Structure 1
Amino acid sequence: MSALVSLEIGGFEHGPVEVLIYALGWSLGWLLLWRARPLRALSDAAPAGERASVAVVIPARDEALSLPNLLRPLVAQRRPGDRIVVVDDHSSDGTASVARAFDVDVITPPTPPDGWLGKPNACWHGASSTDQPVLVFLDADVRPGSTLLDDLAGAVADEPDALVSMQPWHRMETVGEQPSILCNITALMGCGSFTPFPRATAANVAFGPVIAVERTTYDRAGGHATPSVRSMHTEDIGLARAVGRSRLAVGSAATTTFRMYPGGFGDLVRGWTRSLATGARFTRWWTGLAVALWMCSVAGGWLAAPLVYPLTAVQIWVLGRRAGTIHPVAAALFPILVVVFVVIFVRSAISVVFRRDVTWKGRQVGARTG
């Protein structure tokens, strides 16, 4: 009779319900991040010399250390007619001087007026200073692949009414950066674009580090001046919703990467607190439920059935490599990653619910603006 109500694994007895719940969550993890589709999957990029000219807008606040890693490969792929504009957002570290050394345009926007946040304000003024038919917005911590501009221009040509964006592959070089990996994984899962059925599950969101859009589409949507965009610290999501359609991709270690929090663990906590729960607000409910079930299997499956611990560690390792750098030790010690993730998510949710400000780049940013 006991065989009907329990399941024995390796000498340990577990209830079948516990095992089935774990198996469901573990399986959902693979489906939610079935494949990290690269930008090339979105477009057969136009042949060299035949693409539209591109205006690259780089909002930069205290990014003197990051800019060389972005501008050096970016300038090398600039074509006649392209323009690169660094928007020095009132930096205090020589950002403008570093940018000018790479022979790119540098502008300083006015102080953000009431109702505007710093990054949307910088992006709007950068876009307004150019007239190229394709707009590309890049964060200063991005390290672009050698064909990024060609690929983005080709993707925009394929889908001129959509917002094209890419989440670069996250380079995490220190122990203090490793806890970011679960945040990266859930961000990719939550967008719904990397399941086996992306057209049916994708949400209308975007990845802020790399965005490309046809100028007429940007202007028609109101760009970063749209009230629901200019007041959002997750202005990428606001812009995707204003445009109405988005197409998402993921970089790889060999193509486009970024290093989000070189300052270590403190920056990581502040950065993800700023955006994690807000991103969850715009996730389709069924995708959010699936991600939550997967997280439950990761967090509690090994406690209910200790012998599934290696299965979860392997899954974290494989999925983590699709999102960025993950050390084998971090995957093996995944319960620590879970604790950090839960703490950050709770902090982020409290900030959203109670509209608490988060300090970022020396400014107070409302957690639920927009």
Structure 2
Amino acid sequence: MSIVIIVLIAAGCLCGWILFRKNVLPVSQTFSPDAYKVSVIIPARNEERNLPYLLDSLKAQTISPHEIIVVDDFSEDRTKEIALSYGIKLIENPQLPEGWTGKSWAVWNGYLQASGDVFIFLDADIRLDPRAFESLLYAREQAQGVISVVPYHHTEKLYEKLALVLNMLGIFTFTSVYEKHNPKKGVYGSCIVALRDDYEKINGHESVKYEVLDDLMIGSRFIAAGVPVTNFIGYGLVSFRMYPNGMRSQIEGFSKGAVLSTGTLSPRTIVPIAAWVAGLLLSSTALFMSFTPWAWPLWGGYVLYMLQLFYFKRYVGRFGVVIPALHAVAALFLAAVMLYSVYQVVFLRHVKWKGRNIRVGGGR
């Protein structure tokens, strides 16, 4: 039995190394996109806490955008006032039509009033290093297609750090070498860079207006149209603070796509992810099996995963020391989010996000 445990945990841990790709957004030193007019489009719903960080970081960029557009998506806080105080272009989102999700509708209305020939779509919780803008444009130029970035997760409170394992799964999903030729390959919606011509080729967010996972679906639309999709890790250049408003928003945010996203992945990605998670959960039982014959192999596996997570987190986010060391807690949080996601998708047939119920399969 001990040999079986060792093999299962070691195989799972190995799958983590196979899945992880340190595909960090390259830093541009010389790129000058003089030929482009860049429109930054920011959908924002109740983002008074996050928006100032993003707008300040945009003002500090080594290359200035042609325009910055904030689309206020029926916010109930000071999002609109904050955007106006920065002197940028503000759009108040029109009434949400039947069949659209809120974010896609906001992004689409930003596009309709944008005049640039390159679009950078940013979530309001993004924070940019001063070199990020030119690096994003440089990376898009090198990729000759659409790029997206999985941001480095800036966490502050303990509950935010529980997302370590979930963030790792996000990195695995978007950097897996097995997704390279997946026709359903997605982009990471927090930070997307696309030429206007490429965006209009797929009819933009209107083509995914009813999708809960608009970012994953729009990636597959680009690929179907012959536009390459490349995903990067934002370490050092693009970061975000995802859920500063409390545990509830964090659970809602992760659970809305936890189950649905698996349907877009290649089986060759799903299998090693499942093996990695299984090994993680198995090693976590060491906390409860200390007085059994399997204690030593379980604790050995626990330490193996802990060391791996300490390495990965350097590129994934600021998670401190406690959660990687007590990764069993983060694994339990993953299990809770997955169960809640199943409950919403299978039984409720909708997911909840920012005060809206979004129907699975389309609408509102």
TM-score (structure 1 length as normaliser):
0.88
Residue from 134, 154, 162 that aligns with 1:179 = 162
SS at match of 1:137: strand
**C-alpha contact 2:54 2:127 (8 A) present in aligned 1:** yes
Matching residue of 1:321: 314
Measure, in 1, the Cα distance between the counterparts of 2:198 and 2:142.
Answer: 13
Residues 107-143 of structure 1, C-alpha deviation per residue, up to 9 Å, x if partnerless? 1121111100110001001011012110110000000
Aligned to 2:162, the other structure's residue is in SS state helix
Q: How far off is 1:241 after superposition?
A: 1.0
2:218 maps to amino acid: L
CA distance, structure 2, for counterparts of residue 81 and residue 287 of structure 1: 37
Counterpart for residue 169 of structure 1: 152
2:50–2:125: 8 Å Cα contact kept in structure 1? yes
Q: What is aligned with 2:48?
A: 64
Deviation at 1:147, TM superposition (A): 2.1
CA 1:125–1:27 in 2, change beyond 3 Å: closer, same or farther? same
Displacement of 1:306 in angstroms is 2.4
1:214-253 equivalences in 2 (<5 Å): 214-226=195-207, 229-244=208-223, 245-252=228-235
Give the alignment partner of residue 89 of structure 1, picking from 70, 73, 82: 73
TM-superposition CA deviations, 1:290-324 (whole Å, max 9, x none): 10001111111354522312112111222233211
Q: Does residue 272 of structure 1 match 2:264? A: no
Q: Following TM superposition, by how much is the alpha carbon of 1:237 offset from its aligned partner in structure 2, in angstroms?
A: 0.9
Residue 203 to residue 46, structure 1, CA distance change in 2 (3 Å): farther
Question: Could you say if the C-alpha distance between residues 210 and 318 of structure 1 is closer, same or farther in structure 2, counting changes exceeding 3 Å?
Answer: same
Superposition pairs of residues 43-58 of structure 1, within 5 angstroms: 47-48=31-32, 50-58=34-42
Bigger drift between 311-320 and 349-358 goes to 349-358
Counterpart contact for 2:39–2:67, Cα < 8 Å? yes
Query: Does the aligned pair in 2 maintain the 1:276–1:345 contact within 8 Å?
Result: yes
Deviation at 1:96, TM superposition (A): 1.5
Contact 2:184 2:219 in 1 (8 A): no
Q: Which SS does the other structure have where 1:40 is aligned?
A: coil
What corresponds to 1:210 in structure 2?
191
Q: Which runs of 5+ in 1 are unaligned?
A: 1-13
Tell me which amino acid in the other structure corresponds to 2:50: S
- Against the structure 1 CA distance between its residues 310 and 203, is the aligned structure 2 distance closer, same or farther, given a 3 Å change threshold? farther
Higher relative CO (Cα under 8 Å, sequence separation at least 6) belongs to 2
- The AA in structure 1 aligned to 2:259 is A
Matches within 5 A, 1:249-268: 249-252=232-235, 254-268=236-250
Aligned to 2:341: 348
C-alpha contact (below 8 Å) 2:16/2:276 kept by paired residues: yes
Q: Which amino acid aligns with 2:345?
A: V
How many angstroms does 1:328 deviate by?
1.3
Q: Is the alpha carbon distance of 1:49 and 1:158 closer, same or farther for their aligned partners in structure 2, counting shifts above 3 Å?
A: closer
Q: Alignment partner of 1:58: what SS?
A: strand
Distance 1:235 1:108 in 2: 21
Contact 2:179 2:185 survives alignment (8 Å): no
Identity of aligned residues (%): 27
The answer to whether the 8 Å contact 1:52/1:153 transfers is no
8 Å Cα contact 1:185/1:323 also seen in 2? yes
Kindly provide the amino acid, as one letter, of the partner of residue 266 in structure 2.
R
Q: What's the counterpart of residue 40 of structure 1?
A: 26
CA RMSD between the two structures: 2.2
Structure 2: gaps (5+ residues): 286-293
Q: Is the 8 A contact 1:164 1:211 kept in 2?
A: yes
Distance 1:203 1:31, change over 3 A: farther
Partner SS state of residue 98, structure 2: coil
Between the aligned partners of 1:175 and 1:271, the Cα distance in structure 2 is 17
Q: Distance in 2 between matches of 1:302 and 1:179?
A: 15
TM-score calculated relative to the size of structure 2: 0.89
1:212 Cα deviation from its structure 2 partner:
0.6
Corresponding residue pairs, total? 348
- Is contact 2:38-2:67 (8 Å) kept? yes
- Distance between the aligned counterparts of 1:126 and 1:230, measured in 2? 14
Rounded Cα–Cα distance in structure 2 between residues aligned with 1:178 and 1:368: 31
